[in-house]
Amino acid sequence: MQKFISEQNLHTLLDKLIAEGTRVVAPRMNAGTPLYEPLKSASEMVADQLPRRSGKEAFFPLCEDIMTYEKEGQKVTLKDIDPARFPETVLVGVRPCDAAAIPVLDAVFSWDYKDEFFLERRKKTTIVGLACTSADDACFCTAVGLSPSETRGSDLFLTPLEDGGYACESYSEKGEALIKGHLELFAEPGNSRAVSLAQPQTEKFDLKKVKAWLDEHFEDSSWDSIATRCVGCGACAFVCPVCHCFDIVDEGTEKSGKRRKNWDACGFWKFTHHASGHNPRDQQPKRYRNRIMHKFKYYEDKFGQTLCTGCGRCIRLCPVGIDIAQIVEEISKK
Ligand code: SF4
Ligand code: SF4
């Protein structure tokens, strides 16, 4: 279904959803940093900046309680957190590199173990993607087969128009339902052209070649030169729309506490530290090798997908200037 929505009507739609009790999550400024966060009003949305972290946390929060316990004498009471209480959500203004990441995550969260926390939020969320109008030197979505107008992962997709407002196209029943439920705010598509979209300056990687090299070079001296300087801060994993490792920890006292699911990162030394004291990834290059292997080989082997959407966040934020696009490009030319 194709429609047009004006900027003002988009705001009216979001305000209406908020008033009805729907959680509306969109890029908004938080202490000077754009982040995907719940809006109190549509006027808080900032459509022209890539949020610092990705949209995955609408489904997979940085930290969440999954169970609580209380102890009284010998009696221990466990209480599950019920995912059914998660609210209906509209995630709006999602960059194509973030929206495309969500179906990639579906594969792992509904694989051998069905993660109800992720899946229930996923079921209750409508994703409204937004075409990208600006790219910086770190963006490389086009190199991994996506684009600034990629609609993968979006239920509804907005493209800004030269005369104002957005061309709006639905790609799922959820997207269609959002339009049909507020039909008075949409108009038939007009003749206005799309504004010029972002043009990341990257050529498409030969991902088959990259994987073929990775298949044969688990042991290779290049890993040292690539990642000896990595400080293992984990920032690259925390800002990544498709990194999904987490740890489960119990936090509390003798009397009560919580079981929590926290983001984790394969760049951390403790990530593979065994109780015996042995660590199979005892040096930073081995940990960074895992990052590249997971993204461009293991996930491809397991789910037939690349675990990178080219958002460039890890390049912008790495404190030691490690550039994953440059590394993958070099591998593709070996
Ligand atoms: S690996 Fe880096 S560029 Fe690729 S999706 Fe993750 S943060 Fe973005
Ligand atoms: S952000 Fe850079 S330094 Fe930090 S773990 Fe990632 S690659 Fe290493």
Assess contact for 261 and 66: CB atoms under 8 A. Answer: yes
Q: What angle do CA 20, 24, 29 make, to 5 degrees?
A: 135
DSSP 266: T
Q: What is the pLDDT of residue 203?
A: 83
Assess contact for 325 and 202: CB atoms under 8 A. Answer: yes
| Calpha distance 259→303 (Å, rounded) | 29
Assess contact for 124 and 83: CB atoms under 8 A. Answer: no
For ligand 1, mutation pick of 139, 324, 329, 331 (most atoms within 8 Å of CB): 324
Ligand 1 is surrounded, with C-beta below 6 A, by: 239-242, 295, 308-314, 324
User: Which residue has the CA at smallest separation from atom 8 of ligand 2?
Assistant: 230
Ligand 2 atom closest to Cα of 265?
5
Average confidence (pLDDT) per 10 residues, the chain, 334 residues: 96 98 97 97 94 96 96 93 95 98 97 96 98 94 96 98 96 98 95 88 89 97 94 97 96 94 96 94 95 98 97 97 96 91
Q: What is the pLDDT of residue 199?
A: 86
Q: What is the pLDDT of residue 68?
A: 96
Assess contact for 254 and 274: CB atoms under 8 A. Answer: no
Q: What is the pLDDT of residue 282?
A: 93
Of 292, 231, 249, 317, nearest in space to 54 by CA: 317
Q: What is the pLDDT of residue 202?
A: 75
Q: What is the pLDDT of residue 247?
A: 96
Query: Mind giving me the DSSP string for 50-95?
Result: --SS-GGGGTS-SEEEEEEEEEETTEEEEEE--GGGPPPEEEEEE-
| Calpha distance 149→201 (Å, rounded) | 15
For ligand 1, mutation pick of 308, 322, 323 (most atoms within 8 Å of CB): 308
The structure's pTM equals 0.94
CA of 24 to the centre of ligand 1 (A): 25
Question: Strands 166-170 and 23-30: what pairing?
Answer: unpaired
| Calpha distance 78→61 (Å, rounded) | 22
CA of 304 to the centre of ligand 2 (A): 26
Residues whose CB falls within 8 Å of the CB of residue 93, separated by 6 or more in sequence, listed in order: 26, 27, 45, 46, 47, 128, 130
Q: Any idea which residue has 């675990």 for tokens?
A: 307
User: Which residue has the CA at smallest separation from atom 4 of ligand 1?
Assistant: 308
Ligand 1 atom closest to Cα of 138?
3
Q: What is the pLDDT of residue 201?
A: 75
Q: What angle do CA 143, 49, 201 make, to 5 degrees?
A: 25
Ligand 2 atom closest to Cα of 317?
1
Q: What is the pLDDT of residue 316?
A: 97
Of 197, 195, 213, 215, nearest in space to 205 by CA: 213
Find the ligand nearest to 292 CA: 1
Q: What is the pLDDT of residue 9?
A: 98
Q: What is the pLDDT of residue 16?
A: 98
Q: What is the pLDDT of residue 12?
A: 98
Q: What is the pLDDT of residue 265?
A: 97
Paired tokens of 220: 């290779």
Q: How far is CA 233 from CA 59, 269, 288, 297, 323, in A?
A: 23, 9, 11, 23, 15
Q: What angle do CA 17, 23, 29 make, to 5 degrees?
A: 100
| Calpha distance 90→21 (Å, rounded) | 11
Assess contact for 187 and 135: CB atoms under 8 A. Answer: no
